[in-house]
Amino acid sequence: MEVLRPQLVKIGGRVYRKNPIQEQTYQHEEEDDDYYQGLMECAEEPCETYEVVQTPQGFRCTVKAPSLLYKHIVGKRGDTRKKLEVETKTSISIPKPGQEGEIVITGQHRSGVISARTRIDVLLLTFRRKQPFTHFLSFFLNEAEVQERFLKFQEEVLEKCSMDHGVDSSIFQNPKKLHLTIGMLVLLSEQEIQQTCEMLQQCKEEFIDDISGGKPLEVEMAGIEYMNDDPGMMDVLYAKVHMKDGSNRLQELVDRVLERFQASGLIVKEWNSVKLHATVMNTLFRKDPNAEGRYNLYTADGKYIFKERESFDGRNILKLFENFYFGTLKLNSIHISQRFTVDSFGNYASCGQIDFS
């Protein structure tokens, strides 16, 4: 992290800086104390947009949060909560582990309640970002024709390029799981899944229907490209996806969905645009057929996993299959796909969807 360019955290329409501290992945609750000290430096200015209710005893404010994140507000032996209460002169009530509910902040002074709320939001956002992704917004690209053509691609690559370093059947995508990812999500409760469904429905009503015309988008999956700079040492090879009529409607649609979800905080902003692609070969599959690209790097407690990868030489694949045609698809639904799950068709299980027609 650059000293002159600290990370910014957006909360309640205000932007706060996260001052440089020693970065460590969250592994044990014992780290709460030191982590709290660093995080609170970015919450110096309270946010005035919170709803604070005046009561006969003083002031009250509530915070909605999934139960999985409560422990980060409590801290080891309750130390984090105690520090928050002492420094903001408030009382903070947190539901018991496993129980969904609201965090309740009460205090004699409105400014103290707002300060506590701001600090809690910073903690929640920071530790949420350390959670592994649970879901993703996607189009399914596993129509029968495309699956058949993909298997043909795999067969021909193995027939003509199996002597190239690192090329074998283990690094090919499961054809039933071919998909186009719009954005990755961390959904930690049923309420957050429902919120995502509602956000998708809003997108449909506000702009998706206009872009799609209330009809499926007809696209082609054709041509291949690679992710890294050296074609002789590839880790990911993907197929390109584009509108059959040559328009940019698909790109416009997914970019606007991404923008809306980023603005809501449901998707962390990493890119301004979605790369229209479907992974067809990935070296992470070599040791773990269920691996999911760069998003499979953290355990549930935020511990980084180092996955050693054996790259493959893709130069001949590019030369021989640069314009390989995988087929035509009609995209009619955006799904909330759940990672590490399989439905009855062998694809990722869907927790919700919107249809264009």
Residue-wise pLDDT for 106-116, tens only, equals 999 999 999 99
Q: Order of strands across the sheet with 325-331?
A: 277-282, 236-243, 217-226, 325-331
Amino acid at 139: F
The pairing of strands 325-331 and 277-282 is: unpaired
In degrees, rounded to 5, the angle at the alpha carbon of residue 318 between the alpha carbons of residues 316 and 324 is: 120
Give CA–CA dist 173/26, Å, rounded: 32
Helix (H, G, I), strand (E, B) or coil at 194: helix
Give CA–CA dist 136/95, Å, rounded: 28
Per-residue pLDDT for 296 more than 80? no
Question: Which runs of E-coded beta strand occur in 114-231?
Answer: 135-140, 179-185, 217-226
Residue 105: closest CA among 75, 125, 81 = 81
Per-residue pLDDT for 295 more than 80? no
* pTM greater than 0.85 (yes/no): no
Weakest mean pLDDT among 123-127, 218-222, 288-292, 344-348: 288-292
Burial 298-314 (b: 16+ CB within 10 A, else e): beeeeeeeeeebebbbb
Give CA–CA dist 223/233, Å, rounded: 19
Q: How far is CA 126 from the centre of its chain?
A: 14
**CA distances for 180 relative to 116, 136, 206, 260, 312, angstroms:** 41, 10, 22, 18, 23
What letter does residue 298 receive in the DSSP assignment?
B
- What pLDDT score was predicted for residue 30? 43
Mean pLDDT value across residues 245-261: 98
Give CA–CA dist 260/267, Å, rounded: 9
- What pLDDT score was predicted for residue 228? 82
- What pLDDT score was predicted for residue 10? 57
Per-residue pLDDT for 20 more than 50? no
Confidence class for position 309, pLDDT limits 50, 70, 90:
confident
Whether 313 and 194 have beta carbons less than 8 Å apart is answered as no
- What pLDDT score was predicted for residue 34? 55
No. of helices (H) and no. of strands (E), the chain: 9, 14
Q: Order of strands across the sheet with 135-140?
A: 179-185, 135-140, 333-338, 350-355
Residue position matching structure tokens 């004699």: 108
Mean pLDDT value across residues 23-30: 40
Burial 219-229 (b: 16+ CB within 10 A, else e): bbbbbbebeee
Residue 277: closest CA among 328, 238, 227, 222 = 238
Per-residue pLDDT for 301 more than 70? no
Q: Following CA atoms 252, 254, 260, 264 in sequence, which dihedral angle do they give, to the nearest 10 degrees?
A: -160
Give the model confidence (pLDDT) of 37-80 as tens digits. Answer: 555 555 555 555 789 999 999 999 999 999 999 999 999 999 99
Give CA–CA dist 64/67, Å, rounded: 9
Confidence class for position 271, pLDDT limits 50, 70, 90:
confident
The pairing of strands 325-331 and 333-338 is: unpaired
| pLDDT, averaged across the chain | 87
